[in-house]
Amino acid sequence: MADLTTDFLGIKSPNPFWLASAPPTDKEYNVRRAFEAGWGGVVWKTLGSEGPPVVNVNGPRYGAIWGADRRLLGLNNIELITDRDLFTNLEEITRVKKDYPDRALIVSIMVPCDEESWKAILPLVEETGADGIELNFGCPHGMAERGMGSAVGQVPEYIQMVTEWCKKYYSKPVIVKLTPNITDIRNPARAAFAGGADAVSLINTINSITSVNLDAMSPEPMIDGKGTHGGYCGPAVKPIAMNMVAEIARDPQTHGLPISGIGGVTTWRDAAEFMALGAGNVQVCTAAMTYGFKVVQEMISGLSQWMDEKGYTATSDFIGKAVPNVTDWQYLNLNYVTKAQISQDDCIKCGRCYAACEDTSHQAIAMSADRTFTVKDEECVACNLCVNVCPVENCITMVEMAQGAVDPRTGREVGDYANWTTHPNNPSANLAAE
């Protein structure tokens, strides 16, 4: 059986599935239930400093995007950091860590961007016995307006500065949680690395408005006739999150910086994909809020079975394995040629492939009088749009053409681009020539 035990920054947990800092980790009751359900770790919902209490809205806090089957694809929230007393949280963290020493327990923190505020809270957190801290530099709403959250995460100099303070006043691992609301995710990651961060976690939520109430003419969720932007998460953000994780994993300037992957992890496969792109573990929120804490049991069994099938005995066997295959467009192989192929046995004659290709692509699918659909090889550019719109899995596949075969579309032999590095279609070659 595959061993799912994960060692992240020297913090061991029985599996790589951690709950992210969010409503599910806001109190002792929730976290105990999560650990009993099987979660390998939690990041406690973000703590603030002593002072004026955080006050959340008493109306709707979530907006949503659903698929056609009412499946939740994205969740927008306008909830702030914990509105519970700091010392109540610290007492609960202490008790939970004592009772579950084999589980990872990380404390998320967000305080004003001055050294004294961090100096004051860090010893209090260290006394709880928690395994580490996560700096919330990502929250895009509410706290950002107060100069915290993404307001810090969008300024690399601030990230480095605060990270240095934390390394100065705290002896355990420091994880920096990054905001996706930025042009190039590598810059804040480099700043965290320069500040001595032990790891980064990403992504935090994406600034968003999910819907507008067209009767009240207000964004949802609506509070007394008005709405605001919030943080978007869930399955819909996974592609954005994975790209940002991969960008950091393959950046020479952050080489070796551990990553905790966050963003739309719903199944074991999602987790495996993040980990293949360089994440040492994953954090989950929306899936737990949608299906409950026991969803982790499916993740554990699924990942374990897949690892057994692949011959992986430990998660370290495949973490980062896909990173060398993530490259820039200019390095893709133009000598690789495929064509679409439609299985007539599987085709249900719905015509989606024909409509999509005829109207919006390359007119490479023919339709006969009896609604038989075939591919015109001489027109097919292998874009695979037809594969993606077909409702029958594996009905349309992309078949590789053999080296030396003549591509009917171009008249060239497959493999005819002998020197791609100087080919006129290569953007790098064009830039070099200019």
Are 138 and 153 in contact by the 8 Å Cβ rule? The answer is yes
- Runs of H (alpha helix) within 127-237: 150-153, 156-169, 186-194
Backbone angles phi, psi at 276, to 5 degrees: -65, -25
Are 77 and 230 in contact by the 8 Å Cβ rule? The answer is yes
Return the closest-CA partner of residue 179 out of 224, 260, 89, 244.
Answer: 244
Mutual orientation of helices 186-194 and 238-249 as an angle, nearest 10°? 50
275-290 as b/e: b if 16+ CB within 10 A:
bbbbbbbbbbbbbbbe
Q: How far is CA 149 from CA 43, 91, 176, 181, in A?
A: 16, 24, 11, 11
Which one is catalytic: 113, 139, 380, 390?
139
139 is catalytic: yes
* DSSP one-letter code for 36: H
Dist. CA 16–CA 281, nearest whole Å: 5
Return the closest-CA partner of residue 303 out of 38, 9, 30, 34.
Answer: 38
Catalytic residues: 139
